[in-house]
Structure 1
């Protein structure tokens, strides 16, 4: 095969745009693929229809032979004619003849099948008509022969129509591909056109033109290369134009500089002298040029500005003299000068007058000395640091408190010398120097610091800090000031203790007790912890006061307080709440443990003997116990419950322990009451939402779904029915909820277009509660709904639980019969969970049995569960009831259900709950159930 390409063809190809090349190549490829595909399709269709036509011919012969036997035997020719005329109307049959033994022929009217495909297509397919004849033999005797002719025209028409549809799709795809190709290539080439325009502008002198990279990565790379080239060329042109100006500018800069600049030759003779040098030294350029730099040195000082090393620059501070004899402090930078061949030709000297700087340094030194004396004399400790936190200075007070001298601490990190911690926790206080450097306004006073000295001692301090800034407001360091506040802290601690403790017993007082109780309630609510509160009231304490006076009573309280304090845990809080009342807060303590501890405290008080002078007293204590849980109770409620339990103990005979009526049942009822209010609002504000879960037929049949209820809370979050249905059942709200759900389902069904409802029939299961089953007005309500709505009763299935149906058996049966007479169906939910399931089943007119999911879920692993499912399915089928398996969650379970013969499946394997509109508006689709075989 020759690889030579015609040059004209090559040039034509080169003139084609990228879009045209892509379209031409893709068109050729698609044409070849299409031709191959249609060839394969037509071959497959010819093979199929040839085989189908022969099968039809065989079937018709086998059908007609026994059908014509009886009239052929009796000679009923009119019946034979009639049968032939009827049968010839079948598709593909064009003629049927019957010939008897004497040669008499009966022919059917020929059925004219019109050819819709072109004649050439028929010739191309080459599907000829087929003929066959068969003798009619009865009892070994022949009574005639049937002849049958079938045409392939319908098959050719079908193939032609199918090819037309596929061709339209192919052409549509090709058109879309061309459109996408043109759009993609056009979009990709747009930056290339812009790049060409930019190149032309650059060539015309617009050297500042640049492009924003865009398009495919290759185009972005081209644009970036153009930008880089343009930048380099522009820089080169700018450099060439600036080179000449630089030399002129350099001379001008030197002359106009405010700094004295002079140059010398290799021998130190001045070769140039600018105006700033004239202003500094008072010598003119004419007077200075040609003289040695030694003229600038004061008499007797010696030295020279010129460096002995030609390759080294240097900086020096020296004293010079001016023309008028004045002495100047100057800072000089000397650097060697070279000619174009690198030969040393002299020096350039840049001179700055630092006379005023020297005077300022002298003044600053004196000011620093005064500051050092001042810092040494104040009573507060002072530390200064640089911006990196290195110590620069300690005053004597700081040296004494820290145990470091200023000389020892200088240069060390602040954290090494100064180690403050938080008084309450002992945690180190973070070094604040970095914060002061970053934010000079962040200084503040800390009252909770404790200083750890080098000897390990701790001293309470008051700490403050500030940044140090220069005249330009730039931070150059920080200062920390602190003072010993041991005395004031000791007084504050004493006052704090007195504010939170009882002066008589040294126990926690009522106010501190309330604060700790608040904290415990918060931890119970937020962290799920459980605590307990004991409320204690002494019995017969008044006898001591009345008999021996208040001094004796006070002593009794002190002794009992010490005794009780030894009986509680270190984590617990014993408080005197007033008079002879005490409280105990038990941290992380269950109610049973709290009851045991309360009994120990009660026994301790009972066994205590109080002696005063010549008298001996015994007292008792009544104790109320209440749990502190995250159940919404506030501290006041908890304290009131404990107080009530304590009084209950007194009423029951004193000197005993009673638990408050604060259990899960109370919390549960309170929660249910809250849900009643939320449900009422949801019914009034239409905040109930319907979801559906598919119930898929295992062996084929009508689609089903079960309606599931949800509620929207105040934040529009979905609330599942387990949260509010128990409250609705307890407080008789289920009949209102059931009616609301029925109305919402009818609304959803009524919104479906009639055509969609016909094409996608579905049975919707609505759950009815036990309360609704016994509602005498429910039937009238349902009849009213069906009368007002365009909803067919056969689309509605009411689902009732086995327990509810049995509890209202008589009324339930009557209601079910009435609704079934209207066309509705019934499903019995959770079947098998009750002991009397099979006994009551024959009395309930149900259409479906929903096998309890607890059997279905584990049937793959538990043979007993599998046997229960088998038994329910068998009994249901014997009674003509279809079965539905709940909780189908894997392929293995689904396969077993198919083998057993269960009719429907429901569970997460089939589908998860979805909004009712998504289920009702879905098209009927085949499910995975058809492929389940139980082998998974």
Structure 2
């Protein structure tokens, strides 16, 4: 049995074969058994064996640089690897090869072609054999270690008293045991009294251990040994007998030493960590242990026969009034009495200790009370620790301000007081604007320092009667209790916002920091403390929405709008989890021939009643909540699947998919797109990604690298809503994009507004000069279409041709067209 227990073994299997196909085949067969390693060369395999220490080796016989026989002989000659089972694999089936394999040290022989189940079983068998061997070796090692470590002498003797084994060869038990004592007679090894006793008992022992104690005279006194003696049998009869010896001298001597009750009591009381004072029935001290001496400042010789109250001065920690020593209650009531809580002990030298514990009467053997004993200990550190733990539990570790727990308690008290006295309580929730950006750019050490500086500045701006708490992160709360008017909270919030105009100095650098504050007033805005905080959070969110660096009061309309936002986010999350999003497709048309040249995939979301929700509502929410990456992935896969289906129907229609800026920040974007193309077997040239020019400008250098990576996949890139952002033409020139989409806001009024017409004309001219394909969005009239063609833009999309259609209606739309041609990839609406 293993003392250390069994562990879950992950086997390491090494395949040595110069044929990579064989390796792949064996890897596929054997991978359920463990981790697979391989080498195509015998020479390299020898180095790999030393590195990975495999549990089994599958070895090909015929290899160019070093054949399997030589590899096997080399491994078997090395003591470090000789126990690794080697299974030969070969195409030869002749018995001679199998014989040579076994003679050279192999344990099995697998022929090609491989039978997967038999091959797996053979390898599994060898792995199990190896595991069992290792367990046996481990068990032997642990047994030997156990025998060597047990605090007893273990010996084994033949029937004539000759030694066959001893776990002591260092003389730890007896000087005569030093060195090799095998085959020596017991009388020459053990003390005479011990060897005689063992020999005398020899004829009476059975397989059941005989137990007895032997007293052995020593130069320094008597030693006591407890002996266990039993027969050891084999199939041939009695081989000998096992003798184990335990030194019980210490126990014997301890029992004798502790026989006296007085000595036993002295040893015990002087060794414990509590203070002990014993008295007679009159309260006169008869005993004090060293701890009691230290705490009272009295030595036992001075305190003997003194009244306990003269030695042990007890006071109440709250009132400082003297306390009756509980020992007197124990004497009077003849029972155990606990010490009063909050007891203070003042020592002779003036040191003060918080103490607690109890007093109990002492009785003699007849049950008569002969005195009492006082047991107490110092709880000063424990009480200080309790106070510290209470403080830590209720205060923020970074700023030492009240935390959420303590704030909640004070909020409840403030609301209760305001309700009782007809006053008001206000909660100001403060959030540092753009703190995450500051924290990430400065580093967390400076971020923490800024939090502490903010806490100090806020604390300096409010009266001591107000509570300033930190909720965590960059959020603070100021609780104004017992205020008379709402205007007071407005004035304070204004003061706080203005006070942030003074920059903070970190590492000799100035940083301008602003805050957003949400204000909620009880009982105007809330009925309890929980609602007060929730409404302050709502108001703070409004301050953020309105541009930050300001404060806002709570309103019910604000709460309603946030609840609607919450419901929309919940619906969006549910749709993403349950794959309930669907995609509409808007055709892209050649303005000269009216032929379909592509389609733009546009995501759609329905509410619980089945009504469509505007993308203008849920797309920004997806970006704010971080759901845009999951949303984009689902739309991409649905669009690729649809484009592949069109291709199988004979329609080569490129599909364009919008990609948000947050998706470009995802390092796995290229991998996700590549997987989507592979999963749906869609040619890369039929996929186009649309991204806004503003998103391109977030990090131009990084974006250029990511675009190059995407283009290398074979897909096309389009700039969406061109002209509405604030891109730099110098940067735009660097981006290797394919398509430029003219925003519908310009196309809509191009025939009615000279400025819009000139903008469209300029964009078309710019796109042509850069060699980009141009597509106009929002084409609604034939006049717009003709004007675009005249200006040199020959592709468009809009309600003139079709609204975005579901997949069924889109298929009907393309079926009406007499032909579809391979077009360029396009993008977004």
TM-score in terms of structure 2 length: 0.33
Structure (1 or 2) with the greater helix fraction: 1
The higher-RCO structure (CA 8 Å, 6+ apart) is: 2
